[in-house]
Chains A and B, each alone.
Chain A
Amino acid sequence: MSVFFGILLIYLIILLVKAAIRITIRLVNALIGNSGSTQKPISTPLRIFLIVMLGFSVALTIMSLNIEDAGYSTLVLIPIAVFYFPSVFAKFSIHLGLVNVSYYLGKIALFRHHKDTLGGAIFFGWLASNNHSGEAHANHINWLEKKLWHSREPLGSGSIVMHVLLKQEIADDADIYNLLKHLRYINPNRLPGDIARYASRVMLAKDLATNDWKVIHPTLKQWAPLGYNPLVKWLSNHHCKHIEKKKTPYIWVDYILAGAPRWGTHLPKLQQVALPPSLKNKTHATLNAIVQAEWWADNQEEFNYQVLDRQWKLLLDSEAFHSTTQKRIESLGCFDTEGAYKDILNSIEDQQSIRDTDLNFENTANYQIREGQIKRLQIIARSINNRQHVENPMAAPHELEEWLSVAQLLKQLGTDEHTKSQAYHIIQEACWNWIVDLYKIREEKTLVYLISKSLYPYAKRYGEEKFAQMLYGIYQGHYE
């Protein structure tokens, strides 16, 4: 018993020391005139939690002095222990697949999830649900979704990420990956660390399979500022060391903190370049290398043919190619040598124009797709406009869904400058009112943070200074 109360005392002392450090930092900041732009306000759930814990600890400490007289039983201490260490108990409940228990333990694990208790609770519940399969699993997911959709709390960043992760049951990996990519500008102050770490792993699992730093690096850049993430830190340092060739003397520390993964040896050490293998390290490629590259490029999903056109031009402009080909034509016994040479040049030109035409055909198809996407964006903008100031607003996850659709369409329509600008101007006005409504009336500040920070680069790019200023003010926390 006394050991238990000893632990509680230590716990209380740690809490008090932490609080003292925080107060000292604030005092120093105030004294040196730094109003503390980096200060993070303590969230309401954490404040309540700290007060309750403090009260609890004081009461228990006083009682522990008379422990022998009080005659506590273990049964009385268990709920107290659960209250103090919910994450420890959650590990067992997750392992046992107890979704409801894990959910509620996640809800009171405020030290871990104070940034977003609902998101944290759903995360624990979701981890536990993965121990089930079939109908039971589907029922648990439905239950968790209901919890998310019917919650009265405004959405936190953790809930937003979990909203996407819960879709894993119905969406494929690529869809989840793309949706997570749209959460790049999520508010890190409302994102529990374990959710961020898990979501980053979901994306990295897909990226690492490509073995290409060009794909992996943007994901690292997305998750690095979103809280403590040893795996992302270690991979970022790995990139620094092997690709950027910078000194990283403490990379081994990051490696250990990341759990010393054995697969570390399989990480790519080179950045793959978008060049056909036959043209690599060649300023003047041979005819055979260029033809090989044409075949290689034909199998690529995306390829910048300018590289190949440049090589063709260099080859055709070279005197060596001209003379060698002419000699060969003569040795073959062609009657019209100039005509045969011209046929060769025409075939090369044909190859270039045929693949350009292929691209144009693709562009025609794209044009129709683009028209459809523009129409969809217009419908969403109208829908957002129409539901301003309605009596029964839609659930916050629905608003999030709407934003994810907008973000997806903005990305898809960002292929050329004209369409990008057109797409942005379709939604700008609707988004302006939407943001104000969500921020002032609905108080969905984390969702608004995500929307504002995502739209800010567009507003700046297209010279919408007033709108940009408002967006900046929102995600910088200038408006209360």
Chain B
Amino acid sequence: MNPASTNSHPTMLAWPFWILQLTPVASNKDIEKAFNRILAEITMEIPGAEVYPTPKGDQTRDEFSLREARNLLQTPEKRALAEIWYIAPQQATPEKDSAIETPDLDWKQLLGVMK
């Protein structure tokens, strides 16, 4: 299932890149290669092949969604839109600023507060 079908937010328009695990610099050749590789992995039932990361967390993919993603990335107008909204999945959960990192302390105990 593609994530865009469950969420109408334009931020999800980049899903074809996430499902094929590509970035906007990918050429048509890269798209074909990624499609064939992932499809083969799913067919051979390689563990973890059906799972891919997105900014919303891990999602599952199948042959149908892979084909749809490939077609969208090969349609220039759709790809332009996907490129605009693309961020790497890990960019959605930025690292914490070290100066304001929340220390894992039991403040109740430290301040002598009872429960």
Chain A residues near B (Cβ < 8 Å)? 127, 130, 168, 173, 198, 201-202, 204-206, 208-212, 231, 261, 263, 266, 268-270, 272, 277-278, 287-288, 291-292, 294-296, 298, 325, 328-329, 332-336, 339-340, 343-344, 347-348, 350-351, 354-355
Contact = CB atoms under 8 A, between A and B. Distances in A.
A348 B10 contact: yes
Give the most central of B13, B101, B105, B114: most A CB within 10 Å: B114
A298 B11 contact: yes
B55 A295 contact: yes
Interface in B4-22: 8-11, 13
A334 B81 CA distance: 12
A301 to B, nearest CB: 16
B44 interface: no
A124 to B, nearest CB: 13
Given A277-B94, A295-B55, A208 B80 contact: no
14 contacts: A168-B115, A212-B100, A266-B103, A270-B100, A277-B97, A291-B86, A295-B11, A325-B80, A332-B76, A340-B77, A344-B81, A347-B84, A348-B10, A351-B11
B72 to A, nearest CB: 12
A344 B86 CA distance: 13
Interface residues on B, range: 20 to 34
B87 interface: yes
Contacts of B102: 209-211
Given A340-B76, A340-B77, A340-B80, A204 B92 contact: no
B80 to A, nearest CB: 5
Interface of B: 8-11, 13, 55, 76-77, 79-81, 83-87, 91-92, 94, 97, 99-103, 105, 107-108, 110-115
A63 B31 CA distance: 103
Given A329-B76, A334-B76, A348-B10, A269 B99 contact: yes
B9 A343 contact: no
Contact of B94 (A204, A296, A336): A296
Contacts of A292: 87, 91-92, 94
B77 A343 contact: yes
A263 to B, nearest CB: 5
Contact of A347 (B81, B92, B113): B81
A294 B81 contact: no
Contacts of B115: 168, 173
**Majority secondary structure, A binding face:** helix
Contacts of B9: 298, 351, 354-355
Contacts of A351: 9-11
Nearest to A165: B114
Contact of A333 (B76, B86, B101): B76
Given A269-B99, A288-B87, A291-B85, 17 more contacts: A168-B115, A198-B113, A204-B107, A205-B107, A205-B110, A209-B105, A211-B103, A270-B97, A270-B100, A291-B87, A298-B11, A329-B76, A332-B79, A332-B80, A335-B76, A343-B77, A351-B11
Nearest to A330: B76
A206 B15 CA distance: 39
A201 B111 contact: yes
A369 to B, nearest CB: 25
Contact of B100 (A211, A296, A328, A348): A211
A201 B55 CA distance: 39
A342 B51 CA distance: 34
A278 B10 CA distance: 19
